[in-house]
Structure 1
Amino acid sequence: MTHTPAPTALKAKHRALWALGDYPDVAATVIPDLGQALVEACTVSEGDRVLDVAAGSGNASVPAALAGAEVTASDLTPELLEAGRARAEADGVSLTWEVGDAEALPYPDASFDVVMSCVGVMFAPFHRVAAGELLRVARPGARIGLLSWTPDGFIGRMFATMKPYAPPPPEGAQPPPLWGDETHVRELLGEGVADLSAVRRTVTVDGFATPEAFRDYFKACYGPTIATYRGLDQDRAAALDEDLATLARGFDEGGGVMRWEYLLVTTRRA
């Protein structure tokens, strides 16, 4: 499968964005169970050759390795892979950590038994290209598992809230939460897969005592939020402060408990 890769400058920008703040802490303390949920949905077992695309700091890669799989964790941002290596060492598991672009994966066709991504590949800007790469590296019959934030869930709404404050996306780029729309994912994968299942689930987030605490944590730790604030003057930053706190307030079920919706897609390579 051939395609025109995104400009190097755009890749460098995305790499730098995810190095901002402390995404490994977000993965480890805010959404620690998502990777395990994806690994279980993909029925990862001993001996499977697994590729975790846009793996970040290994939220799904490490649980897959703990299940006995031969895991390659691929991500555009080296800083995230370094954090993943440290986590894997602490957990006593060995896996391969490699810098790789989800839109141009550095692996031969039909290389893996499981290809998965936990709130990762959804952030590659050109969805059709990324989907083509997921299919290309999966062997016939391989399991494919994708866990993505939905457009109407909390994180999808957060990106919609930040959009008016952020620079325009690259021409042709699609919003990340579209990967959380079943119709969109089915269209992307098309006849390349069979037996596709898509279920909406929620993860409970209860680490923020107030809406303002959530906002301030994401301003400090979450790359896309940090990048959005960087271009704002004082008044616009104050307006975004209020908009993000209002969003969190609307999802608060009491005592700071929120439920963030995601779409879990499991399928197999045709």
Structure 2
Amino acid sequence: MEFDWGVGEYERIAVDLVPAAQVLVRAACVGALPEHVVDVGCGTGNVALLAAELGARVTGIEPAARLRELTAAAAAAKGLAVSVLDGTAADIPLPDGSADVVLSNFAVIMAPDAQAAADELARVTASDGRILLTAWTPGGPWDEMMGILGKAVAQATDGAFTPPPKPIWHDPDAATGLLGPHGFKVTPTQHQLTFPIGAPAEFWQTHLERHPIGVHTAPLLQQAGLYDGARADVIAQLTEWIPEFVVDYVVIEAQR
């Protein structure tokens, strides 16, 4: 299945990630110098817009055409000069060493080939540049909800479904293994992000049903008669967490 992050309404989920984007941009000290900031997997522009507002020259990299359009429109509405290019973490259309700061808010961690992504991030980062990215810590509430959906998908496909490889960027040793050979020293810091639930059924609709993962998996689950059961299980779990749930994440900073 070819995955397109542009389907559904990812912008509804992206709003909840703004506090992490703010943490990321602050940790990178964006604005202290006139720098070129590259936001890899820019999505709806959370990080790119914040960096541009602080005076950085910003390039967003995003493979989903609709999300590129959303970022460009948001930048234009604020009068910010943000370039948005078609690319992925493993294929960034920029010259070697052209980025002073490379940022990624829960995006690079989704790259299918972590080493290929790390190699590409290192390639575009200047010799004295830095890379900072956010990564979810495994085992939290999102994993529980995705586990419910994953179990239903496995049942719908008679076990033939192969889940994507688990992200490893949250592990400082793994991040060091990926970026260390390129001369980077990795420093992790722990953070938390709070998700308000409100009405569980509404949260399902906005954060899961309209999430690109939900849009891609819904037809399969509906055809197998498993959609309603998965929905009920997730809503039951959300009901237990009302009024909010907290997710741990890591900011990985890599400096040459």
Give the TM-score of the pair, scaled to structure 1. Answer: 0.84
Equivalent residue, structure 2, for 1:239: 229
Compared with structure 1, are the counterparts of its residues 153 and 199 closer, same or farther at alpha carbon in structure 2 (3 Å cutoff)?
farther
Aligned-pair identity in percent equals 27
- 1:243-262 equivalences under 5 Å are 243-250=233-240, 252=241, 254=242, 256-262=243-249
Contact 2:175 2:186 (C-alpha < 8 Å) held by counterparts? no
Task: Identify the match of residue 42 of structure 1 among 9, 22, 28.
Answer: 28
Task: Identify the match of residue 81 of structure 1 among 44, 57, 68.
Answer: 68
**1:144 CA displacement:** 0.6
**1:90 CA displacement:** 2.3
Equivalent residue, structure 1, for 2:148: 161
Compared with structure 1, are the counterparts of its residues 218 and 25 closer, same or farther at alpha carbon in structure 2 (3 Å cutoff)?
closer
Task: Identify the match of residue 211 of structure 1 among 200, 218, 241.
Answer: 200
- For 1:234-266, what per-residue CA distance to the aligned partner results, in whole angstroms no more than 9, with x for missing partners? 63112211332244345x2x4x22212211111
Contact 1:48 1:113 (C-alpha < 8 Å) held by counterparts? yes
Q: Is 1:230 matched with 2:219?
A: yes
Equivalent residue, structure 2, for 1:266: 253
Secondary structure of the structure 1 residue equivalent to 2:55: coil
Q: Is 1:144 matched with 2:131?
A: yes
In structure 1, runs of 5+ residues without a counterpart are 1-9
**1:153 CA displacement:** 2.3
Contact 2:136 2:249 (C-alpha < 8 Å) held by counterparts? yes
**1:110 CA displacement:** 1.1
In structure 2, runs of 5+ residues without a counterpart are none
**1:120 CA displacement:** 0.9
Compared with structure 1, are the counterparts of its residues 119 and 101 closer, same or farther at alpha carbon in structure 2 (3 Å cutoff)?
same
Counterpart amino acid of 1:202? Q
Distance 2:237 2:182 in 1: 38
- For 1:60-97, what per-residue CA distance to the aligned partner results, in whole angstroms no more than 9, with x for missing partners? 01000011111000100110011111211222211111
Contact 1:115 1:138 (C-alpha < 8 Å) held by counterparts? yes
- For 1:94-127, what per-residue CA distance to the aligned partner results, in whole angstroms no more than 9, with x for missing partners? 1111111211111221111001100111121111
Aligned length: 248
Distance 1:66 1:43 in 2: 13
Mean Cα deviation higher: 258-267 or 187-196: 187-196
